[in-house]
Amino acid sequence: MKRNSILLAALLLLSGGALRAQDGPWSLSDCIAYALDHNLTVKQGELTVEQREVELSTAKGRRLPAFNASASENLSFGRGLTADNTYSNSNTTSTSFSLGGDLPIFQGFDITNGIKLGKLNLAAATADLEKARDDIRVAVAQAYVQILYNQELLRVAREQSAHDAQLLEQIRERLSAGKVSAAEVSAQQATLAQSRQSEIQAVGNLRISVLELTQLLELPSPEGFSIVTPEVGDPSQILLMRPEAIYEEAVAVKPSVESARLNVDYAELGIARAKGAYLPSISLSGGLGSNYYTNSKIASQSFGEQLKNNFSQYVGVSMNVPIFQRFNIRNNVRNAELTLKGRQIQFESVKKALYKEIQQAYYNAVTAQARYAGSRESAASAREHYELTEEKYKVGKAGVADYNDARNSWLRAESEHIQARFQCLYQTRLLDFYRGKELNF
């Protein structure tokens, strides 16, 4: 019954994940939360953390004593040596039982260092898992912004198609009144066809961007998926922190830096563990046992009497002192020291890479803010020019070529303005993300 309940709960969770796309628009926080729960890379990282927990438990278990029990039964046939040192044909049996155990007393700090290494391994795996989650957050945010951008482009393309269709009807009315030629109607039909083609392309681009996001979320299909369009202010007015200040906060919170630092600590402990092999190891052992023996030529005591009479106990202490190990210990120490130097270099490399990322993100944000402000003015000017040219085109004072040039210039400027807006939004939020804040807008 319990198993059926677990299976039912799992099916409900899976079906809920598959149907989630039909519940309504997804916000960025919804997408990130769902991706963190279902992304396969993150799940693999979670399994690695669990494996490191098991390894740590195994390292701690080395402090505990080990016990073993054994039993054996042997049968012997044919000629054999007797008690009076002669040979005769006889059948013998022997039965033995034993229980033994050993306890490590001192292993050159190998057990202690092994536990410390296990803890560092677990902490590093946890940091790597959080880095994988950060990567997913950034990837989801990028895909989300791309959908917002493509949605805006599709909106503009649809409005332009509708506008060109309306303008075509007006020109046809003017043709009926004899105010324009059939060539102008054909030219406007070509313009409308171009607008509809742009609309079709915008629909395709939007579908691809939606598909990319749903694939990041591990959703079975993009059908029915939609996102929330956030209400944001003017991203060009956001005051940006200097990259040096952002780095000071980021280096203390980013999991990639923490993982690299833990790897340095792990390498330092690796040296101590390798040097511990120079030290002696001491262990305590003890046990008890008994046996039973029969010979077809000799009368034997009963099973119980023999077990009682042959019962024995022992306890002992053993010490192993390494004298010469073919330079293995020395070379292991050298390798551990080289590993430490490599991990230190890697640690510095990770920090430098983080600083470069922050610098690049900062200047991208500065450029995006300037580009957004400039594209806003450019789009407004291009739209004004387009509207004036359209009015002239309607009354026959401008040709279709002038109209198309003004229209295309405005569409390009509007597209650049939309792109600059969302790029500015993303880059400014990315700087906050480096400081440890949630990636959201």
Strand ranges (E), 252-345: 281-295, 312-320
Q: Are strands 281-295 and 312-320 parallel, antiparallel or unpaired?
A: antiparallel
Q: What per-residue confidence (pLDDT) applies to 17?
A: 42
Q: What per-residue confidence (pLDDT) applies to 259?
A: 94
pLDDT tens over the chain, length 441 residues:
334 443 333 333 443 444 444 467 999 999 999 999 998 999 999 999 999 999 999 999 999 999 999 999 988 887 766 656 666 777 888 899 999 999 999 998 999 999 999 999 999 999 999 999 999 999 999 999 999 989 988 988 898 888 888 888 877 887 787 777 788 788 888 888 998 999 999 999 999 999 999 999 999 999 989 999 887 667 767 778 899 999 999 999 999 999 999 999 999 999 999 999 999 999 999 999 999 888 777 777 888 888 888 999 999 999 999 998 889 999 999 999 999 999 999 999 999 999 999 999 999 999 988 888 888 888 889 989 988 988 887 777 777 778 778 888 888 888 888 888 888 888 888 998 999 888 887
For 83, list phi and psi in degrees, rounded to 5: -65, -30
408 membership: H or E segment, kind and range: helix 400-434
Residues 6+ apart with CB under 8 A from 93: 73, 74, 75, 76, 292, 293, 294
Q: How many CB atoms lie within 10 A of CB 273?
A: 21
Q: What per-residue confidence (pLDDT) applies to 16?
A: 43
Q: Which position has the token pair 């092994």? A: 114
Distance CA 268, CA 272 (A): 7
- Which residue pairs, CB below 8 angstroms and at least 24 apart, start in 8-17? 17/219
Q: Which position has the token pair 């944001």? A: 232
Burial of 86 (0-12, 13-18, 19+ CB in 10 A): exposed
From the centroid of its chain, how far is CA 299?
74
Which residues are paired to 152 by β-bridges? none
Q: At what angle do helices 40-61 and 28-38 cross, to 10 degrees?
A: 50
**Residues in the chain, overall count:** 441
Q: How many CB atoms lie within 10 A of CB 334?
A: 13
CA distances from 156 to 337, 372, 403, 410 (A): 62, 18, 17, 11
The structure tokens listed for 50 are 């669990």
pTM of the model: 0.79
Q: What per-residue confidence (pLDDT) applies to 246?
A: 94
Q: What per-residue confidence (pLDDT) applies to 56?
A: 96
Which residues are paired to 289 by β-bridges? 98, 312
Distance CA 89, CA 249 (A): 88
The structure tokens listed for 139 are 């990837």
Distance CA 99, CA 311 (A): 11
The structure tokens listed for 368 are 């995006």
Q: What per-residue confidence (pLDDT) applies to 19?
A: 41
- Which residue pairs, CB below 8 angstroms and at least 24 apart, start in 394-403? 394/167, 394/170, 396/179, 396/180, 400/184, 400/187, 400/188, 400/191, 403/191
Written as one letter, the residue type at 221 is S
Distance CA 411, CA 142 (A): 24
CA distances from 346 to 45, 119, 133, 260, 350 (A): 21, 21, 21, 7, 6
The structure tokens listed for 321 are 């002192």
- For the chain, state the CA radius of gyration: 39
Written as one letter, the residue type at 423 is Q
Distance CA 260, CA 251 (A): 11
Which residues are paired to 294 by β-bridges? 93
Q: Which of 8, 194, 137 is nearest to 434 (CA)?
A: 137
CATH (residue range 29-64+108-279+322-434)? 1.20.1600.10
Distance CA 309, CA 317 (A): 26
